[in-house]
Structure 1
Amino acid sequence: MKALVWHGEGDIRLDNVDDPSIIDPTDAIVRVTRTAICGTDLHFIRGTMAPMKEGTILGHEAVGEITAVGDAVRRFAPGDRVVVSSTMSCGVCWQCRAGHTAQCDNANPNGPQAGTCFFGGPGSTGPVDGLQAEYARIPWASNTLTALPDNISDEQAILLSDIFPTAWFGAQLAGVQRGDTVAVYGAGPVGQFAIVSAFRQGASRVFAVDGIDTRLVLALDQNAEVINFNREDPVQAIMEATLGIGVDAVIDAVGVDAQRPRSGPAAADSEQQADEFGQEVAQVAPKTNIQGENWVPGNAPSQVSQWSIETVRKYGRIGIIGVYSPDLMSYPIGQAMNKNLTIRMGNCDHRSVTPPLLDLVASGVFDPTRFITQHEPITDIVDAYLSFDRREEGWLKTVVAP
């Protein structure tokens, strides 16, 4: 079968690899009908989440049809349409029973203290081959898969594999409630859904901060108040808009590959921190393979962390869903403590978050496909990665058909 394979930093290839097979009785095999490219995938190629194992199939979003199940899989059968959760979970340990499925005690082959196990990630998360392929092996299938009703299309379902649940989880982490003002940092795919989630969880005003105009236009279409950090200082803009108070809650949908402003009033302050940011980049990306404009790590890993703390009110709340490398050692914790902030973070508990969102889409209340901007065949997936990695205008969410 064809699959996108990681061969090293800056080196991904569409290879012919062996079809997956049942290894454990809790496994299922899924014929992938839709997969997608996520910003998290870029971290592995840029070198900001390491170490990866050469030969790992990338990708953690998929919709498909089951072709085989292990003997212990009792809730699914060949022919069932399913959406694959990006994180794996057994469904029986204490963490899973509490709904904390991202921290399943059994899914990660590295042991119960290893943390989240997700598809197509570094060695610390398994590694488990990912979903940008024609077929995929799904460990712990009974809890990692969710059945799809007939009235949900593959295009709608692929956005329920990771980014909509992750964004919803981010709003929950930030404690969004009725009447809140919310700042969403990053207006990429997850950031767009974070805006959706914040409004649906009760926010009265949402500020969207990004540096790419086409993304901010989409945010504006959702009635967010938009701030381009290459033209305005986001801290000054948000504090002025909230009469010096700050927002009630912040959702960080950027993470370790943050870019500092290239121009505008915020650029000077960031330039003064260039050496500090450079040290952070050396921490999180000790090995890179930059090729022209591609596979360039973010040049300001803690930029959004700083802005988040500066723009949230005293006793405010921050939810972090942007991916940060375990190797990043800097965080403005003193400023956070001085403001009595609540900071929550982590990987989405997909198995407990996704089903209610599935109902939301199935009922026709919300159609997530408005955020799909590109449709590509798997044969063009490497070129699609290159365009998405360069943050080209108009590239938001790319769906891939194997």
Structure 2
Amino acid sequence: MRALTWEGKQSVAVKNVRDPKILRPEDVIIKITTAAICGSDLHLYNGVIPTMKKGDILGHENMGEIVEVGSAVKNLKVGDKIVVAFDIGCGKCWHCEHEEYSVCDNSNPNAHIAEMLYGSSGAGLFGYSHIYGGYAGGQAEYLRVPYAETNSIVVPKGIDDEKVLFLSDIFPTGWMAAENANIKEGDTVAIWGAGPVGQMAIRSAFLMGAERVIAIDHYESRLQLAAEAGAEVINFDKTGDGILDEIKYLTGGVGPDSCIDAVGLEAHGQTVTAMMDRAKMALSLATDRPDVLRQCMQACRKAGTVSIPGVYGGLLDKVPFGAAFGKGLKFGMGQTHTQKYMKPLLDLILEGKIDPSEIISHRIDISQGPDAYKNFNDNKEEYRKVVIKMH
């Protein structure tokens, strides 16, 4: 089969690789119908997530038609079309039983690597390094889905793939980000990053009762989409070092009730600390650029909440934790427990309350994948969400 493979820093190729096979009785094999390139995939592309190996198959936002089922699979059948969660839960450990799927105890066969780096291991992830299990991703013609009954949802026949594909990751991620923000009716929520996760968080915040959402980014096309969803927007290129003053002005000097960091470890900005972060990462003196997290902690109102769906990979420098402690901030963060949210969010889509497909900017064939990765990385003004249509 054809697949998009990681060949090194800023190098992706289309290669012919072996088709996946059933390895455990809980597995299914799907023929991919639609997949996507996620902003998180660019962390892999840029070489900031360790333990990638040449030839690894990319892709964690996947859906397709079941073509083969393992002997223990009872509730899925050949011909079903399923969306697959990006994180892999076993369905039986303590965490899975408590709907904490992204920290599953059993699905990461390389747990020892994560334990050395982080002290403990989360769940395995599709197409996202050997820290998280070395599982093949779905930017390919076929995909093996482990613990398939736990990690997928059957979608109705006749619904367009693009409306439901993002149940695999960014819609649940945006929703959990808003949930972690403890939003109450009438709240003001500030969201850094108007990319796909930020867009889903904006819409989720409004559905949860937020009165105002402030979106912060520097790509005008993304800010325009945020504004169309009802958000007030700030272009941080135009505020420079004054971003915190602008947020304070918009919130009457109090600060937002909650702040969401939908950017993560490769933040851009015009502040002095952002420039220091870029220099230190370029010299391999730092693993992450956490300027958005700093701003969230500084901007949030006293006793407010900071929610962090953005990915972080290592040790953070100059984080104003004293300010967070002094203000009594609450924090919510982590990989998304995707499986917990797939059914209720599918219902919202079917009820017409949200259409995640509006964030798509490009549709490509798998043969265009390497160029799409480069273009997405280099031109985020034009590229927002790239969907791979398999034929």
For 2:222, the aligned partner's letter is R
Report how far residue 128 of structure 1 moved: 0.5
1:272–1:126 CA distance, 2 compared to 1 (3 A): closer
- Match in the other structure for 1:384: 372
Report how far residue 360 of structure 1 moved: 0.8
For 2:106, the aligned partner's letter is N
Of 293, 306, 313, 1:318 maps to: 306
Q: Secondary structure at the match of 2:167?
A: coil
1:178–1:283 CA distance, 2 compared to 1 (3 A): farther
Quick check: 1:184–1:191 contact (8 Å CA) kept in 2? yes
After superposition, what is the alpha-carbon deviation per residue over 1:167-209, rounded to whole angstroms, capped at 9, x for unaligned? 0010111111211100000001111111001111110000000
After superposition, what is the alpha-carbon deviation per residue over 1:130-149, rounded to whole angstroms, capped at 9, x for unaligned? 11000001111110111111
- Match in the other structure for 2:149: 142
Correspondence 1:1-400 to 2 at 5 A: 1-111=1-111, 113-232=120-239, 233-261=242-270, 270-271=271-272, 274-275=275-276, 277-280=278-281, 282-283=284-285, 301-328=289-316, 331-400=319-388
Distance in 2 of aligned mates of 1:310 and 1:275: 18
For 2:327, the aligned partner's letter is K
Quick check: 1:103–1:116 contact (8 Å CA) kept in 2? yes
Distance in 1 of aligned mates of 2:277 and 2:370: 33
After superposition, what is the alpha-carbon deviation per residue over 1:244-300, rounded to whole angstroms, capped at 9, x for unaligned? 100000111000011122xxxxxxxx2366345533552555xxxxxxxxxxxxxx7
Report how far residue 330 of structure 1 moved: 5.3
Distance in 2 of aligned mates of 1:397 and 1:274: 27
Where do 5+ consecutive residues of structure 1 fail to align?
Answer: 262-269, 286-299
CA RMSD of aligned residues (A): 1.6
Quick check: 1:280–1:330 contact (8 Å CA) kept in 2? no
Report how far residue 332 of structure 1 moved: 2.4
Report how far residue 373 of structure 1 moved: 1.4
Report how far residue 64 of structure 1 moved: 0.4
Distance in 2 of aligned mates of 1:393 and 1:339: 35
Distance in 1 of aligned mates of 2:286 and 2:29: 34
For 2:345, the aligned partner's letter is L
Q: Give the stretch that moved more between structures: 276-285 or 207-216.
A: 276-285
Quick check: 2:102–2:122 contact (8 Å CA) kept in 1? yes
Q: Give the stretch that moved more between structures: 323-332 or 128-137.
A: 323-332
Quick check: 2:89–2:106 contact (8 Å CA) kept in 1? yes
Distance in 1 of aligned mates of 2:200 and 2:151: 22
Report how far residue 391 of structure 1 moved: 3.0
Quick check: 1:116–1:347 contact (8 Å CA) kept in 2? no
1:54–1:203 CA distance, 2 compared to 1 (3 A): same
Aligned pairs, number: 380
- Match in the other structure for 2:116: none
Distance in 1 of aligned mates of 2:292 and 2:61: 26
After superposition, what is the alpha-carbon deviation per residue over 1:38-91, rounded to whole angstroms, capped at 9, x for unaligned? 010000111111121222100100110001111111111111110011111111
Distance in 2 of aligned mates of 1:245 and 1:46: 38
Where do 5+ consecutive residues of structure 2 fail to align?
Answer: 113-119
Quick check: 2:12–2:373 contact (8 Å CA) kept in 1? no
Distance in 1 of aligned mates of 2:261 and 2:310: 6
After superposition, what is the alpha-carbon deviation per residue over 1:311-365, rounded to whole angstroms, capped at 9, x for unaligned? 1001110110001113446532222111110111100000001110001112222
For 1:378, the aligned partner's letter is I
Quick check: 1:283–1:328 contact (8 Å CA) kept in 2? no
Quick check: 1:48–1:284 contact (8 Å CA) kept in 2? no
For 1:116, the aligned partner's letter is A
Compute the TM-score of the two structures, normalised by the length of structure 1. Answer: 0.91
Distance in 1 of aligned mates of 2:274 and 2:380: 26
For 1:274, the aligned partner's letter is M
Q: Secondary structure at the match of 1:142?
A: coil
Identity of aligned residues (%): 41
Distance in 1 of aligned mates of 2:106 and 2:174: 25
Q: Give the stretch that moved more between structures: 364-373 or 97-106.
A: 364-373
For 1:253, the aligned partner's letter is A
Quick check: 2:19–2:142 contact (8 Å CA) kept in 1? yes
Quick check: 2:269–2:275 contact (8 Å CA) kept in 1? no
1:62–1:343 CA distance, 2 compared to 1 (3 A): same
